[in-house]
Amino acid sequence: MVSINEDELKKLVIQRLLEVDIPRKDAEVIADVLVFADLRGVHSHGVLRVEHYVNRIKSGGMNRDPELKVEMFKPSIGLVDAQGGAGHVTTRFATAEAIKVAGTEGLCMMGIRNNSHCGALAYYVQMALNAGMAAMVMVNTDACVVPFGGRQAFFGTNPFAFGFPGSRESILLDMATSEVAFGKIFYAREKEQPIPAGWAVDDKGNPTTDPNAAKSLFPFGGAKGYGINIMVEALTGLMIGGVFGPHLTKMYGDLEKSRDLSNFILVIDPAVFGGEAYLETTQRMIDELHNQAPAEGFERVMIPGEIENRTMQKSRRDGISIPQGVYEYLAG
């Protein structure tokens, strides 16, 4: 492992992207999103993805310079056609527009179609939290999760993130509807470590702990997770993009093709229900949760996003740890 500070890591990412003619302003956005994930310890969505993005750009599967605009269907409902552009850039653009609309309308539902991989969804929810807004962001992904009771992949990891602001701390949940994000499998391969039982199946549909044999993932929580997986697909691929599961372009195949991913973004101004009292009420709930007696083996009861925030503080103090191979690629 190599330890590096966030500014240096961003510079390495930007330089790699400039080499394949990504505009600097867009390279800076991509680097910001990726390093945000690494700072939080979510390395599966961090800078290890750069090599793949570079390969897809070189192959023609990512539009270097889309012309982004919002088409508003209702005062609080809009759509962005990403035109196959970098998902980090298009999703930040759409989220920023949704925050503006929610500031005047109270809420905004924004869709993105024809998108590419956009990195950690927590980044976009954090944008809303910084503006004092609540948010939910979802995206569908290509088939890599077996349906409950099946043995072959049909839906993607279909992650979603949710955030709600408090006066001092905020709730920030970011999770895949698979047992894990597939990026964690790639991270285990990079570190040459086995994966826990219950994460994945091999090409015959049998459970495996070998990251190199992992072919498809389990949905989290059995049938319940499978149901939420379908919910995300409905609000993204079915409602916004018209492309779902096995019909999406694979992330690590067909590099010359656009991904056709779809995002659902919902931003809400909680103040519409009675001013900003919700900030103190949320903080009181968080404080009361922290004061709950912890179970054996736990330091205390925490809220979603708290571990990642602690990791971010440590990473900014001590540096970000990334695999040697990833560093060598970026620095090479």
Tens digits of residue pLDDT in 60-107? 999 999 999 999 999 999 999 999 999 999 999 999 999 999 999 999
307: phi > 0 → left, psi -120 to 50 → alpha, else beta; which?
alpha
Q: Which of 52, 117, 247, 290 is catalytic?
A: 117
Q: What is the pLDDT of residue 45?
A: 93
Give domain 66-274's CATH architecture: 2-Layer Sandwich (3.30)
267-277 per-position pLDDT tens digit: 999 999 988 89
Give the pLDDT score at 55. Answer: 96
| Rg (the chain; Cα; Å) | 20
- For the four alpha carbons of 189, 92, 41 and 231, in that order, the dihedral sign comes to negative
Q: Does residue 117 carry a catalytic annotation?
A: yes
pLDDT tens, residue by residue, 113-126: 999 999 999 999 99
Percent of the chain at pLDDT > 70 equals: 100
With 80 as the cut, is the pLDDT of residue 16 above it? yes
Q: What is the pLDDT of residues 284-310, one digit of tens each?
A: 999 999 999 999 999 999 999 999 999
- Average pLDDT score over residue span 315-319: 96
* Mean pLDDT rounded to a whole number for the chain: 95
> Strand ranges (DSSP E) for the chain?
2-4, 70-74, 77-81, 107-115, 134-139, 160-164, 171-175, 200-201, 207-208, 216-217, 261-268, 320-322
Residue 178 forms beta bridges with which residues?
A: 219
Q: What is the DSSP letter of 175?
A: E
- Mean pLDDT, range 216-236, rounded to an integer: 95
Under 8 Å CB-to-CB from 102, ≥6 apart: which residues?
76, 108, 128, 133, 267, 268, 269
> Could you report the per-residue pLDDT of 181-212, keeping only the tens digit for each?
777 888 899 888 999 998 999 988 899 999 99
114 — phi, psi (to 5°)?
Answer: 60, 40
